[in-house]
């Protein structure tokens, strides 16, 4: 991802979603040539000259000060994830550190895997960089689709949601799930613009999924959080589950995602049934031995011949 292009497109997309009334400016009526605020209006709100803001929106953000970025973020009404993304894509000097970070293998500590296994009745898994699923417990594996049976390059939440057909049936509000994941990937791209595996993943999704191309073009940014998901599981049917995310101490690249049902609800009973079903297969693998470095890992784009034979929706258990 070219940070200059990303900065230009991101600022335009955030400016386009605002109207004068949203930011307390008078709207004198008439048809606007462009959606949203004009550049001079945004510059006025941020307290910078129009020429300075125009140059920034053209992608020239290498020397912008933190104070100016903060002012522009306030003017654009950016949320914390968007503000963080703006800071990162205007600081290309940090890209060398990002390349080193992207090359590091991803592993979960044995103690974290023990915690996952001890979370009896709670579906849980760990996401690493690029939304790779790098560890899980048995109930988490059963909930999101049998990732333990997939090849490592397909153990990725975005790959599953966009290229595995069964995800459309699993997530009742598939559009919301897909939108969140695209926003998370864009946040990842701002953090690691030179990550070759991330670039390969985004390229594959753009080529193979019209929905991904549409959502990626919106330039929305999301961070992992908490909420409620409605699922239709192939074994136990409909589930209404709350989810929380936690970052393990010592590794900011990992996030533990845990689901739970309201006590006494039908979904709680369904989770108990699902746990009983998964207990019948004690030999199922739980975690990747390790995530390989980019030089060791096969490209995310599958072999064309294999894709022709099996198609993106053929993974077992999904």
Which structure tokens are listed for 124?
């849980």
Residue 232 φ/ψ, nearest 5 degrees: -125, 95
* Beta-strand relationship, 133-136 and 124-127: antiparallel
* Predicted confidence (pLDDT) at residue 282 exceeds the cutoff of 90: no
* Predicted confidence (pLDDT) at residue 313 exceeds the cutoff of 70: no
Q: What is the mean pLDDT of residues 30-36?
A: 69
Note the pLDDT of residue 145: 85
- DSSP assignments along 179-241, one per residue: HHHHHHHHHHHHH-TT-HHHHHHHHHHHHH-HHHHHHHTTT-------EEEEEEETTTEEEEE
Note the pLDDT of residue 19: 86
- Running DSSP on this structure, what letter comes out for residue 18? -
Note the pLDDT of residue 95: 54
CA-CA distances (angstroms) from residue 224 to 7, 151, 175, 264, 288? 22, 25, 16, 27, 22
pLDDT, tens digit, 9 for 90 and up, residues 217-239: 999 999 988 999 999 999 999 99
Q: Which of 16-25, 100-109, 149-158 has the highest mean pLDDT?
A: 149-158
Q: Kindly state the percentage of the chain with pLDDT values over 70.
A: 81
Residues 6+ apart with CB under 8 A from 212: 158, 162, 178, 182, 205, 206
Closest CA to 137 of 117, 155, 156: 117
Name the residue with tokens 């125009």.
54
Note the pLDDT of residue 173: 96
* Predicted confidence (pLDDT) at residue 98 exceeds the cutoff of 60: no
Instruction: Give 27's pLDDT tier (boundaries 50, 70, 90).
Output: low
pLDDT, tens digit, 9 for 90 and up, residues 157-212: 999 999 998 888 999 999 999 999 999 999 999 888 888 999 999 999 999 999 99
* Predicted confidence (pLDDT) at residue 309 exceeds the cutoff of 70: no
Higher pLDDT, 45 or 279: 45
- Please indicate, yes or no, whether the overall pTM of this predicted structure exceeds 0.95: no
pLDDT, tens digit, 9 for 90 and up, residues 54-94: 999 998 887 889 999 999 999 999 999 999 999 989 875 45
Q: Are 41 and 70 in contact (CB under 8 A)?
A: no
CATH class for the region spanning 3-90: mainly alpha
* Predicted confidence (pLDDT) at residue 290 exceeds the cutoff of 50: no
CATH class for the region spanning 108-310: alpha beta
Domain boundaries, the chain: 3-90, 108-310
3 state SS of 49? coil
Please compute Rg for the chain using Cα positions: 22
HSE, CB side, 13 Å, CA atoms: give it for residue 311: 5
């Amino acid at each position: 991802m070219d940070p200059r292009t990303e900065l230009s497109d991101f600022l335009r997309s955030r400016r386009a979603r605002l109207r004068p009334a949203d930011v307390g400016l008078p709207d004198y009526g008439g048809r606007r040539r462009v959606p949203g605020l004009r550049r001079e209006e945004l510059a006025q709100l941020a307290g910078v000259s129009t020429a300075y803001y125009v140059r920034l929106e053209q992608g020239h953000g290498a020397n912008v000060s933190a104070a100016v970025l903060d002012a522009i973020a306030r003017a654009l009404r950016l949320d914390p994830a968007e503000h963080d993304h703006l800071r990162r894509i205007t600081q290309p000097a940090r890209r060398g550190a990002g390349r080193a970070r992207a090359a590091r293998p991803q592993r979960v500590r044995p103690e974290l895997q023990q915690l996952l296994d001890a979370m009896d009745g709670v579906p849980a898994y760990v996401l690493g960089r690029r939304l790779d699923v790098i560890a899980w417990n048995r109930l988490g594996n059963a909930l999101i689709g049998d990732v333990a049976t997939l090849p490592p390059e397909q153990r990725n939440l975005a790959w599953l949601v966009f290229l595995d057909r069964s995800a459309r049936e699993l997530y009742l509000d598939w559009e919301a799930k897909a939108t969140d994941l695209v926003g998370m990937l864009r946040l990842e791209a701002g953090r690691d613009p030179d990550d070759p595996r991330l670039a390969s993943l985004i390229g594959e999704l753009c080529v193979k999924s019209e929905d991904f191309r549409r959502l990626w073009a919106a330039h929305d940014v999301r961070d992992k959080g908490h909420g409620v998901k409605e699922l239709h599981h192939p074994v136990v049917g409909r589930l209404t589950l709350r989810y929380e995310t936690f970052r393990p101490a010592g590794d900011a690249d990992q996030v533990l995602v845990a689901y739970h049902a309201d006590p006494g609800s039908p979904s709680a009973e369904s989770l108990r049934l699902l746990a009983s079903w998964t207990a019948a297969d004690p030999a199922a693998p739980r975690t990747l031995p390790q995530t390989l470095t980019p030089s060791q890992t096969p490209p995310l784009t599958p072999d064309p011949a294999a894709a022709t034979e099996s198609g993106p929706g053929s993974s077992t258990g999904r």
